[in-house]
Amino acid sequence: MPFPQERPRRMRRTLALRLLIRETDLSSRHLIAPLFVKEGVADPIPIPSMPGHLQHTLESLRKEAREIAEKGVNAFVLFGVPERKDPEGSEAWNPEGIGQRGLKALREELGDDHVVIADLCLDEYTDHGHCGVLAEDGSVDNDRTLELYQRIALAQAHAGVDLVAPSGMMDGQVAAIRRALDDEGFTSTGILAYAAKFASSFYGPFRDAAECAPQFGDRTGYQMDPANSDEALREVRTDIEEGADLVMVKPALPYLDVIRRVKQETGFPLAAYNVSGEYAMVKAAAMNGWIDGRRATLEILAGIRRAGADLILTYHAKEAADWL
């Protein structure tokens, strides 16, 4: 047979034909924009390793969220960067702390037209930079940390968030937070669980942005081993049983197989976190003229959706919303 029977190129001839058979949709409503708010600064501070991103003041936070919202992005995650840190991270649950003030500002600015999500963790707030309180031997004490997560969840619920997003990878964190919220009557406050969060090298720029690099050791005692995907499924199932409303896999690009498995095997609403290092790589290469930043970004985001993520937390949210 000299000629092929199949002619798939027929359907690639024009953009209209390509759109006709496109399988994966990517639009601004699939994107969640992460933002940083810093206490005690008069002006927003650029984050060098994350071009285009700033540690915001309360005022610039509102303005940025409004601009991004107007581009059709539906949801925001906030990270607070406090002035004062201590071994317990007590600013994390201070009702007047920078995290809660930032969340209230977002709620006020966006009303109920957009989803406000609070990252729930201690590493930005502890002076040692770990995601929980330390035991005598320097390891992170799981169960004492859960009590502190419960306090943070309540402070964030009081600030008016739709969802809290525990990112510390403590055992039992979703159940503990669910119980605390329910006991205080916050039955409508949901949980976006960072269910499978890997101990990744791609969090570097974030640790500059949130000023939360561990002062000793690393996070391999609580975050997952990059080699494991069966374990990721167990983590996700546990979080669903404990009461998560959405689950997340983090980072995204080295874990597309995990995203695919989680979606196929659970069918649960799934977010993927396209993390700071993934963003920084694209920006650095684009700034050097080595890749086309716009095309690379849209290809990456479409790839994460194609793998099975319903939602993507991404630092590209603002620019991608412009391009979509």
Kindly list the catalytic residues: 197, 250
Q: Is residue 37 within 8 Å of residue 81, measured between CB atoms?
A: yes
Among 194, 193, 250, which residue's Cα sits nearest to residue 226?
250
CB nearer ligand PBG, residue 108 or residue 147 = 147
Considering only residues 205-224, where is the footprint of ligand PBG by CB under 6 A?
206-207, 219
Q: How far is the CB of 205 from ligand PBG (least distance, A)?
A: 6
CB nearer ligand PBG, residue 17 or residue 213 = 213
The correct pick among 167, 173, 189, 297 for binding ligand PBG (CB under 6 A) is: 167
CB nearer ligand PBG, residue 114 or residue 219 = 219
Residues binding ligand PBG: what is the number (CB under 6 A)? 11
Q: For residues 151 and 94, what is the distance between their CA atoms, to the nearest angstrom? A: 9
Determine, following the binding rule CB under 6 A, whether residue 121 of this chain makes contact with ligand PBG: yes
CB nearer ligand PBG, residue 98 or residue 275 = 275
Q: For residues 15 and 58, what is the distance between their CA atoms, to the nearest angstrom? A: 43
CB nearer ligand PBG, residue 133 or residue 275 = 275
Cβ-closest residue to ligand PBG? 206
The correct pick among 125, 149, 198, 203 for binding ligand PBG (CB under 6 A) is: 203
Q: Is 27 helix (H, G, I), strand (E, B) or coil?
A: coil
Q: For residues 56 and 37, what is the distance between their CA atoms, to the nearest angstrom? A: 4
Which span sits near ligand PBG by CB under 6 A: 54-62, 200-208, 281-289, 294-302? 200-208
Hey, what amino acid is at 248? M
Task: Tell me the Cα Rg of the chain.
Answer: 20
User: Which distant-in-sequence residues (6+ apart) come within 8 Å of 310 by Cβ?
Assistant: 30, 263, 269, 270, 271
Determine, following the binding rule CB under 6 A, whether residue 276 of this chain makes contact with ligand PBG: yes
Which span sits near ligand PBG by CB under 6 A: 53-61, 116-124, 135-143, 237-245? 116-124
Determine, following the binding rule CB under 6 A, whether residue 235 of this chain makes contact with ligand PBG: no
Q: For residues 51 and 315, what is the distance between their CA atoms, to the nearest angstrom? A: 10
Secondary structure (DSSP) of 119-165: EE-STTTBTT--SSPBPTTSSB-HHHHHHHHHHHHHHHHHTT-SEEE
Among 212, 215, 197, which residue's Cα sits nearest to residue 254?
197
Determine, following the binding rule CB under 6 A, whether residue 198 of this chain makes contact with ligand PBG: no
The correct pick among 123, 162, 235, 242 for binding ligand PBG (CB under 6 A) is: 123
Q: For residues 243 and 224, what is the distance between their CA atoms, to the nearest angstrom? A: 21
Determine, following the binding rule CB under 6 A, whether residue 165 of this chain makes contact with ligand PBG: no
Side-chain-side CA neighbours of 257 within 13 Å: the count stands at 7
Beta-carbon neighbour count of residue 44 at 10 Å? 19
Q: For residues 150 and 174, what is the distance between their CA atoms, to the nearest angstrom? A: 10
- E strands, 86-204, in order: 115-120, 163-166, 190-197
Which span sits near ligand PBG by CB under 6 A: 17-25, 53-61, 170-178, 199-207? 199-207
Which span sits near ligand PBG by CB under 6 A: 19-27, 67-75, 106-114, 115-123? 115-123
Instruction: Using CB under 6 A, list all residues that contact ligand PBG.
Output: 119, 121, 123, 131, 167, 203, 206-207, 219, 275-276
